[in-house]
A and B are shown apart, each in its own frame.
Chain A
Amino acid sequence: MQLTRAGFLVLLWLFVLAALRVVRSDLYAASGLRASGLPGFRRSEKPARGSKAPRQLVVTHGALTGTRISLDGRPILIGRADDSTLVLDDDFASTRHARLSMRGTDWYVEDLGSTNGTYLDRDKVTAPLRVPLGTPIRIGKTVIELRS
């Protein structure tokens, strides 16, 4: 009887550990937004770490603060439209506000004709501008930057 009692408790804890194992892989992933955050892809990305290529986009101010999006070479649309990569919920942002796209190894930001404009650091974005690492891009009340 003692054996079954202990056995059941052990199994119960095994379930807890199994559940934690299932969630563990997600704990380190950037935000679950992109497949590249999953552990299988992590290893192949490691060598890139030394170089200064931007690897993610981070929201530093505004309602979405803390959101991270892994960069995988596809352009990133920012705006209030539902199909944007980063959906802003901000009265000062336009439906299609700005786009970040990669050319060569650099990322460029361009304004898509927004009402209130896009600012790279202090400068208003009128033509596509190269975005250096860690430079704030301001869109309405949201500030994003690229990080490696």
Chain B
Amino acid sequence: MKGSPVPTGEGSPGASVATSTSPGLRAPTRRGTELVMLSFAAGLVTLALILVELNQERSLSLRILYLGLAYLGLFACAHLAVRRWAPYADPAILPCVALLNGLGLVVIHRIDLAMEGTVFLDGSVWDPVAFKQVIWTAIGLLLFAATLKFLPDHRMLARFGYTFGLVGLVALLLPGVLPGFIAPTINGAKIWLRIGPLSIQPGEFAKILLMVFFAAFLVSKRDLFTVAGRRFLGMDLPRARDLGPLFAAWGVTVAVMVLQKDLGSSLLFFGIVLVLLYIATERAAWVVLGLGLFSGGAVIAWKLFTHVQQRVSNWQDPIARYEVIGGGYQISQSLFGLATGGIGGAGLGAGRPEMIPEANTDFITAVIGEELGFVGFAALLLIYMVFALRGLRSAIAVRDSFGKLLGGGLAFAVCFQVFIVVGGVTKLIPMTGITAPFLSYGGSSLLANYILVALLLRISAAARSPQRAPKPKPQQPAIADQHTVMVERPK
């Protein structure tokens, strides 16, 4: 602040104050920090790959280094995109994502090695998926860059709130109502759409679309929700007629649970709606009401549906139901894996992920817990935490309410998804089958999450960029003096 006096913009309209002063006044973009952290992440990922290959006693070659460099190159492109289109974006978010995604790729490759040549009961042979996931990562980063380029201001999204809401709702419910040949039931859940050779999970994208809708909706209607109704137990309960959106969200959640048998998504979706309502109104009453509704719905679902009962009894005692079909086998194996890992882990590539079912999707965190142990797993969760922390921080710092709600919702969604997955794998809550963001194998999940990261970076860029200086006006005498001073008409 010292040195260079701040020009008042006197006489020179159009000269922006922020750009004309010394660089000391400009907020640092910290893009350099981001690049260094990205290199660190790429280095760690390469090291992880080397360890896997060593532990699997495969020959090491320069190829691995090339792979590592290619990975760095991929993220360097994303970094350049950020530098070009969102120069003030948060420097910690992208490196965290790079590391999570890279470790996910290494672990997926490691599971491919373990499962190589495995023949399943129906005669099919294990299909290596690591390479596919690399392609998905590349496409994801392309989408990431495209989102940054074509969305120069996150507030543009608010205008299409209702459209997004409709599209999101359709996408969320579509697989549940379409016939089986387009929307097959895989592993008991009807959440995929099959178009030609591609299977996509529209629910992953619906998550973001619906968040945009809810943020836009709540910003325009927020005042309605803060009108207090009756007081009860020290809380201001909302009026009954304002409960509409909450009941709507609850209905959609139940529909997803019934039509698609997808407990994870319905829990995630309802959680996001509740948190957005809470951020918008700052009223605990909404959360209490929502949790009440959810527990009511969960109890009814548990009474009515066998697949819910199964999940709950598997959670209560997985070992007792070890040999029941659809029983506690999966969770038991995951718990055995975590126990084998212990504090320090078995070492990357030295565990036995082939013992864990669905190792590269729902249970990938169990594989990581086995090979990296408690210490490594905790580090991984902390990386998620840093990601969410930066997201929430940007949401606090951004100046418009829509950005605040959307940013808070996006950051919370990732956090909550990790909680649902890790909680399920470690038997804290019933296993619900949902992907771990950035880690699990799955194209839709990865693409949707990269769009989510782009949106968060866009919001953080809006929060951190130095604001435009107000347009300099022709200097007037101080207004208090105006009555006593003759003012010449400007020529």
Q: Which residues of A contact B (CB under 8 A)?
A: 1-2, 4-6, 8-9, 11-13, 15-16, 18-20, 22-23, 26-27, 31-36, 38, 41, 44-45, 63-64, 66-67, 72-75, 77, 83-87, 89, 91, 103, 108, 110, 127-128
Contact = CB atoms under 8 A, between A and B. Distances in A.
B48 to A, nearest CB: 7
* 5 nearest CB pairs, A to B: A5-B347, A32-B397, A12-B379, A35-B27, A19-B386
B92 interface: yes
B379 A74 contact: no
Interface in B46-100: 47-48, 51, 54-55, 91-92, 95-96, 99
A51 B40 CA distance: 44
Contacts of A27: 393
A27 B2 CA distance: 24
Interface stretch (B121-129, B230-238, B296-304, B370-378): B370-378
Which residue, A2, A33, A87, A128, has most C-beta atoms of chain B within 10 A?
Answer: A33
Interface residue SS majority, chain B: helix
A89 B401 contact: yes
Interface string B375-394: 11001101100100110010
B37 A18 contact: yes
Interface in B443-468: 463-464, 466-468
Contacts of A41: 1, 24
Given A15-B44, A23-B393, A8 B27 contact: no
Nearest to A32: B397
Given A5-B345, A9-B375, A73-B6, A87 B44 contact: no
A13 B401 contact: no
B345 A74 contact: no
B466 A9 contact: no
28 contacts: A1-B350, A4-B51, A4-B54, A5-B344, A5-B347, A8-B376, A9-B376, A9-B379, A12-B379, A15-B99, A22-B92, A23-B393, A33-B397, A44-B2, A63-B401, A67-B399, A74-B6, A75-B470, A83-B468, A83-B470, A83-B471, A84-B470, A85-B467, A85-B470, A86-B399, A87-B400, A89-B401, A127-B479
Given A8-B51, A35-B26, A110-B479, A45 B1 contact: yes
Contacts of B372: 8-9, 12
B95 A19 contact: yes
Contacts, number: 134
Contacts of B222: 63
Q: Which of B344, B347, B350 has the most CB of A within 10 A?
A: B347
A16 B383 contact: yes
A67 B404 CA distance: 11
A35 B345 contact: no
A12 B399 contact: no
A15 B467 contact: no
Given A2-B347, A18-B37, 12 more contacts: A1-B350, A15-B40, A19-B95, A31-B396, A32-B463, A35-B27, A38-B27, A44-B2, A66-B396, A74-B469, A86-B399, A87-B399
Contacts of B275: none
Interface of B: 1-2, 6, 17, 24-28, 30, 33, 37, 40-41, 44, 47-48, 51, 54-55, 91-92, 95-96, 99, 219, 222-223, 344-345, 347-348, 350, 372-373, 375-376, 379-380, 382-383, 386, 389-390, 393, 396-397, 399-401, 463-464, 466-471, 478-480
B44 A23 contact: no
A13 B179 CA distance: 48
B17 A74 contact: yes
A99 B183 CA distance: 58
Contacts of A75: 470
A11 B103 CA distance: 13
A20 B386 contact: yes
Nearest to B375: A9
A8 B26 CA distance: 38
A85 B348 CA distance: 51
A45 B347 CA distance: 50
B33 A22 contact: yes
Contact of A13 (B6, B28, B379): B379
A23 B219 contact: no
A83 B473 CA distance: 14
Contact of A15 (B1, B41, B478): B41
Contacts of A11: 44, 47
Contacts of A16: 379, 382-383, 386
Contacts of A22: 30, 33, 37, 91-92
A91 B464 CA distance: 26
B470 A12 contact: no
Nearest to A37: B27
Contacts of A86: 399
Contacts of B466: 34-35
A18 to B, nearest CB: 6
B9 to A, nearest CB: 9
A33 B400 contact: no
A44 B47 CA distance: 43
Find the residue from A31, A108, A127 having the highest chain B CB count within 10 A.
A31
Contacts of A4: 51, 54, 347
A89 B223 CA distance: 11
Contacts of A19: 37, 92, 95-96, 383, 386
A35 B17 CA distance: 13
Question: Of B17, B344, B466, B480, which is in contact with the most chain A CB atoms at under 10 Å from its CB?
Answer: B480
Given A19-B96, A44-B2, A87-B400, A32 B383 contact: no
Contacts of B344: 5-6, 9
Q: Which of B468, B470, B480 has the most chain A CB atoms closer than 10 A to its own CB?
A: B470
